[in-house]
Amino acid sequence: MDIVVCVKTNPDLQMVRIKNRQPVLDAVPYKVGDLEKNALEAALQLRDAVGGTVVAVTVSEGNRKVKETMKEALAIGADEAVVVSDPALDAADQAGVAQALAKAIEKKGHFDLVLFGEGSTDGYSGQVGPRVAELLGIPEIGYARKVEAGGRGLRAERSMDDRIEVLEAALPVAVTVVSEINEPRIPSLMSIMKAGKKPLDEWTLADLGLDAAAVARTTAVRSNLAEEQDRKHVLFEGEPAQQAEALVNALLNEGVLGR
C-alpha cells in the first residue's frame, strides 16, 4: 500500500507566550504536529502490515523553515518527504494549501491512501483533508480511530457519539485520524542519523503547474485573540513558609483546591 501523509509543521505550543491576547511566535521552534504524528504512525503500521511506501508531504506556509523539520518525519519512519515551498504560499489559506498538496500528491505518482490529522494544533480548521480529497476526486473518511487493510480496500472505525461506525472504502481513499488512534513512536538515534540520507524533494508552485493566483487567499481571519483573563494581582508577604500557607489558603477560598 503506497501511502501519503500530509504533514503540517506547527509552533511548539509549550514555547508560545501570550502578549496583549495574541501569541508571540518570535524564536518559537516548529515541529511536526501532534495529530500529524498520529497519521504518520498509522501509515507506518499499515506499511509494516501489508508492505508499501510512506511519503510525507508538507506545504511551507508563512516563511516556515520546514525542510529541517521534515527530517523529523523521516526519522520517525517515512521513506521519503516532499516540501512545497514558494513565497506565494506565505499567506495561503486552507484552500490554497489544499491546492498545493493535491498537486504535489498527483506529481509524486501512484498512491492508495492519503492520511491527515483531523486538524492542526494551531488553526484546527479541519478543512484541508476534505478539500484535498475533493480535489483528488477520491472518497474521504473523517475522524478515524482505527484503520486497517481489508474489506473493499480499507476499513476504518470511528466513534460517533453513542455508536461506533465501521466504514469500508475502495482505494484510493483519504482518511483523517484522531489522537486516540495510536501512540506515535519516538525515533531512535540511529533513525535520526539515517533520516538525512532519505530522499527529500523540494518543489515550487511552478513545478506543480500552479501560480500565485491558484493559491491566493480567499478568506480573512477577523480575530484570533486569547480569552480575556481578569487577574487579582494578590501579593503574599512574609517568610517563604508564611507565603506558601497564605497561597494555599487563598486557593482553598477560591475553590481551586478541594478541602
| pLDDT tens column, 127-159 | 999 999 999 999 999 999 999 998 889 999 999
For position 123, what pLDDT does the model report? Answer: 74
Are 73 and 122 found together in one domain? yes
Are 159 and 82 found together in one domain? yes
For position 212, what pLDDT does the model report? Answer: 93
For position 193, what pLDDT does the model report? Answer: 94
Are 153 and 236 found together in one domain? no
In this structure, what DSSP letter does residue 150 have? E
For position 132, what pLDDT does the model report? Answer: 97
Angle at 37 between CA 56 and CA 202, to 5 degrees: 25
Q: What count of residues does the chain have?
A: 259
Mean pLDDT per block of 10 residues along the chain (259 residues) reads: 93 80 79 93 97 95 72 96 92 92 96 94 85 97 96 93 93 97 95 94 95 90 76 82 89 76
- Domain assignment present for residue 223? The answer is no
Task: Tell me how far apart the alpha carbons of residues 218 and 25 are, in angstroms, rounded to a whole number.
Answer: 24
Residue 174: give the domain boundaries.
2-215
Are 211 and 253 found together in one domain? no
Task: Tell me how far apart the alpha carbons of residues 10 and 121 are, in angstroms, rounded to a whole number.
Answer: 7
For position 258, what pLDDT does the model report? Answer: 67
- Domain assignment present for residue 224? The answer is no
For position 259, what pLDDT does the model report? Answer: 61
Are 233 and 202 found together in one domain? no
Are 133 and 155 found together in one domain? yes
Are 143 and 21 found together in one domain? yes
Cell of 114: 492519503
Beta-strand runs (E) in 53-171: 53-59, 80-84, 113-117, 140-144, 146-150, 153-160, 163-170
User: How many domains, in total, are found in the chain?
Assistant: 2
Name the burial class of residue 61, with classes exposed (0-12), middle (13-18) and buried (19+) by CB atoms within 10 angstroms of its CB. Answer: buried
For position 11, what pLDDT does the model report? Answer: 79
For position 178, what pLDDT does the model report? Answer: 96
CATH number for 179: 3.40.50.620
Identify the bridge partners of residue 53 per DSSP, sorted by sequence position. 2
Are 211 and 254 found together in one domain? no
Are 155 and 233 found together in one domain? no
Are 54 and 182 found together in one domain? yes
Q: DSSP string covering 13-55, please?
A: GGG-EEETTEEE-TT--EEE-HHHHHHHHHHHHHHHHH--EEE
Sign of torsion over alpha carbons 140, 145, 150, 151: negative
Are 193 and 250 found together in one domain? no
Are 236 and 149 found together in one domain? no
Q: Which residue has the cell 457519539?
A: 161
- Domain assignment present for residue 221? The answer is no
For position 61, what pLDDT does the model report? Answer: 67
